Structure 1
């Protein structure tokens, strides 16, 4: 263990330094085990709400507590980087000829941007406190960034299970620094959802069995990104023209009215070709074209087949018979999941309105 700075000066310098690295929210929490958080995780997994994300089960013990992952940790520094959009995230809802891509995926891959900033901040912190050890995490390790963010005071986990900030809304990429430095905690942020249930009512697939609980198996983000097989028929019409993720529960949150797009990291500005992509162009993608279009994008990780599967669902929902030729050609795609989605889409288009 390394003692922190009792005067609080280190904390203030940490906040200032984090700001220079692009973080708009910073909070500190103790690394001690939170049994409530651990119990909620176990209950969620026991109910099967993680779907096919088996890594959630395999590393549940490490995920349940900070010390379960790194016993030497004494403090957690929770950080948020804004990606607040400049335009209405639901603007393409009435444009079935376009594919809707979640706001967070329209710009540069946040994993790279946030992790590089975290590493720079970690190097600075080690320089300020000789002998300190620091580990950085952003989304790819068994770390519960959202509940840790609440314990550290940068926001609270809303009824849609995402972290909500009074200042930045839900448009935050989260990262964490685990450290051996003993730092004073900021205290947990109170829940300020009140009686509002806008996020639950907005969900197209009823993915919230109750407030503060998400059933990933019904979530469009899970279905279009994490799920590799055929999308269950019961959800296909509700998916509409969403081809990668879904922003509906975030977009309707009243706290997002206060999110300032000017605070957003410029790296996350939408690429023109991803802001409102046309379905005919997306359906024509082969593996080479897919990799070229999504180079440097988080979308690249799901691969061409899963992405085209999503676009075929959108095509089937479009009502645009002009897409029939492209869709029919994909009925013989080598990937059986793509071919099945194409047959479904072709049936929908031929059935008419």
Structure 2
């Protein structure tokens, strides 16, 4: 075998092979390389924005042009290295048991452990440094849900799956319980030549049918204004009253569409210990979480995605869930104690929840 002399530049094909090896070493569960052919996806986004389905997420509208042209985020970029990392930590029946217990708080499973943004960005930075070492002229920049990137479309084009009817990326051997990340680069890497991943949703409408607030209005049609994930995390105002009862005990995000998806029977458990649930939040009682002071909230959610809701949003969400739970002396007491909460927003939802419990005991 002829060994290349030292300092001989690697071919793009050899670099692509190295990228796959490095990605596996760094804990990623899938990797693909694609160019930017996003016209249809950009039009889908712009139509969604024109219809106002983004709710109060004004940043989506402000950065629409950046999503249309990744090279504006990383000058000279012509390729995307797309990766996925599994985050599933428990079987579906354990998640469903929590969801079915109205006295317990349901937190979307992606948010139970360490903030994936920081973990994955750190790994992608390592991958970028390795890339720089073998290709010194490379201009590369990593992203993890932190900039206007059409990550699901890029992941689909990188052969990491297909976009399901619930608008999440699906892989036949891994389901949808995974995070996505990207590196935009100017290296002319060979793109994956395998056929596009076939959409295997077929006639199934389980995710559409199960959505508690009917936020999935059709295949790949999500109205964020009705989505529990949006309402409990991104939305900072009052939760519309008609949507409060359907929220049930979901206090941060919602996983119903993933739990019901047949392809998630093949979902793979994460290899990353940092995604394991913290502070018993996978089975915590609503009343116990509602008793957290702001200092406790900030301390216990440090380095976790839950911080995004803020303490006021956390209390608002918990109040709604308590209003949907069975009336008990304990739940009535914690709500009564919160009627003087300094936040008008929290007080409004506490009053609503207390009224729900009063009706249940009449």
Partner of 1:183: 189
Partner Cα separation in structure 1 for residue 72 and residue 220 of structure 2: 24
Instruction: Please tell me whether the aligned partners of residues 38 and 153 of structure 2 are also in contact (alpha carbons under 8 angstroms).
Output: no
Question: Does residue 272 of structure 2 align to residue 265 of structure 1?
Answer: yes
Partner of 1:15: 20
Partner Cα separation in structure 1 for residue 334 and residue 14 of structure 2: 62
Q: Residue 280 of structure 2 aligns to a residue in which SS?
A: helix
Question: Does residue 56 of structure 2 align to residue 52 of structure 1?
Answer: yes
Partner of 1:113: 119
Residues 279-330 of structure 1 deviation map (CA, whole Å, 9 limit, x = unaligned): 1211112211111121121101221110011000010000222211110221
Instruction: Please tell me whether the aligned partners of residues 35 and 78 of structure 2 are also in contact (alpha carbons under 8 angstroms).
Output: yes
Q: C-alpha displacement at 1:127, in angstroms?
A: 0.6
Residues 101-120 of structure 1 deviation map (CA, whole Å, 9 limit, x = unaligned): 01001111111111100100
Partner of 1:165: 171
Q: Residue 77 of structure 1 aligns to a residue in which SS?
A: strand
Partner Cα separation in structure 2 for residue 291 and residue 109 of structure 1: 14
Question: Does residue 91 of structure 2 align to residue 87 of structure 1?
Answer: yes
Question: Does residue 253 of structure 2 align to residue 245 of structure 1?
Answer: yes
Residues 238-281 of structure 1 deviation map (CA, whole Å, 9 limit, x = unaligned): 100011000000111111111121x4422111125211111121
Partner of 1:222: 230
Partner Cα separation in structure 2 for residue 250 and residue 271 of structure 1: 21
Aligned equivalent of 1:234, options 230, 242, 258: 242
Partner Cα separation in structure 1 for residue 292 and residue 186 of structure 2: 48
Partner Cα separation in structure 2 for residue 167 and residue 288 of structure 1: 42
Instruction: Please tell me whether the aligned partners of residues 84 and 264 of structure 1 are also in contact (alpha carbons under 8 angstroms).
Output: no
Instruction: Please tell me whether the aligned partners of residues 74 and 140 of structure 2 are also in contact (alpha carbons under 8 angstroms).
Output: no
Q: Residue 312 of structure 2 aligns to a residue in which SS?
A: helix
Instruction: Please tell me whether the aligned partners of residues 75 and 183 of structure 1 are also in contact (alpha carbons under 8 angstroms).
Output: yes
TM-score normalised according to structure 1 size: 0.95
Poorly superposed stretches of 4+, deviation over 4 Å? none
Partner Cα separation in structure 2 for residue 198 and residue 94 of structure 1: 18
Partner Cα separation in structure 1 for residue 73 and residue 53 of structure 2: 23
Q: How does 1:201-216 map to 2 (within 5 A)?
A: 201-216=209-224
CA RMSD in angstroms, aligned pairs only: 1.5
Partner of 1:306: 313
Partner of 1:150: 156
Aligned equivalent of 2:74, options 66, 70, 73: 70
Question: Does residue 33 of structure 2 align to residue 25 of structure 1?
Answer: no
Q: Structure 2, unaligned stretches of length 5 or more?
A: 1-8
Question: Does residue 333 of structure 2 align to residue 320 of structure 1?
Answer: no
Instruction: Please tell me whether the aligned partners of residues 78 and 185 of structure 2 are also in contact (alpha carbons under 8 angstroms).
Output: yes
Gap change, CA 1:133 and 1:4, over 3 Å in 2: farther
Partner Cα separation in structure 1 for residue 201 and residue 135 of structure 2: 38
Residues 125-160 of structure 1 deviation map (CA, whole Å, 9 limit, x = unaligned): 111112111100001101111111001111111000
Residues 135-187 of structure 1 deviation map (CA, whole Å, 9 limit, x = unaligned): 00001101111111001111111000011112211011110000010011115
